[in-house]
A = this chain, B = another copy of it.
């Protein structure tokens, strides 16, 4: 028995059990209701970088404003980036940052009146806002070898998902 034959048997098996071949799932019958999702995440930075951000001395500009803009655009582009995501008409985006001594927390709240939830959209906003912060301060985060031993993004999660008012 050759390799190709085994694969085909398994494939047929799955086709019968119906576990493969789903594409973007059908939400036609779901109700249009208010849906809100709150996502958050953290970027760990050097205390020196945090100080530059606090003092607005980062060369590329106001870190939070740049990250907020990038995050908003990313929320709206979610169905372009995440294959199975539906196109949702977002009615509101709120992006906030909290700054500590060696990390920054980003929170993104996305709201819509739609047939499906917006948690992935909120997560995309958080991830892009944090990646933008990294990009904007990368000069201060690199060590002498050009590496980023201490920089990292973590704790990306959904704080809350609400259906209805």
Q: Are B155 and A154 in contact (CB under 8 A)?
A: yes
Determine the distance from Cα of A153 to Cα of B152 in the docked complex, in whole angstroms.
11
Contact flag A19-B120 (CB < 8 Å), given A81-B74, A85-B135, A160-B147: no
Chain B neighbourhood of A88, CB < 8 A: 89
Chain B neighbourhood of A46, CB < 8 A: none
Label chain A's interface by main secondary structure.
mixed
Interface mask (A1-31 → B, CB under 8 Å = 1, otherwise 0)? 0011011101101100101111111111000
Q: Are A28 and B34 in contact (CB under 8 A)?
A: yes
Contact flag A91-B113 (CB < 8 Å), given A19-B56, A20-B61, A151-B158: no
Tell me how far the C-beta of A18 lies from the nearest C-beta in chain B, rounded to whole angstroms: 9
Contact flag A54-B7 (CB < 8 Å), given A24-B72, A28-B92, A131-B82: yes
Determine the distance from Cα of A92 to Cα of B115 in the docked complex, in whole angstroms.
12
Closest to A87 in B: B89
Q: Are B23 and A68 in contact (CB under 8 A)?
A: yes
Interface mask (A101-140 → B, CB under 8 Å = 1, otherwise 0)? 0000000000111010101100110011001101110100
Among A51, A72, A115, A136, the most chain B Cβ lie within 10 Å of the Cβ of: A72
Chain B neighbourhood of A94, CB < 8 A: 23-24
Chain B neighbourhood of A79, CB < 8 A: 76
Determine the distance from Cα of A8 to Cα of B73 in the docked complex, in whole angstroms.
28
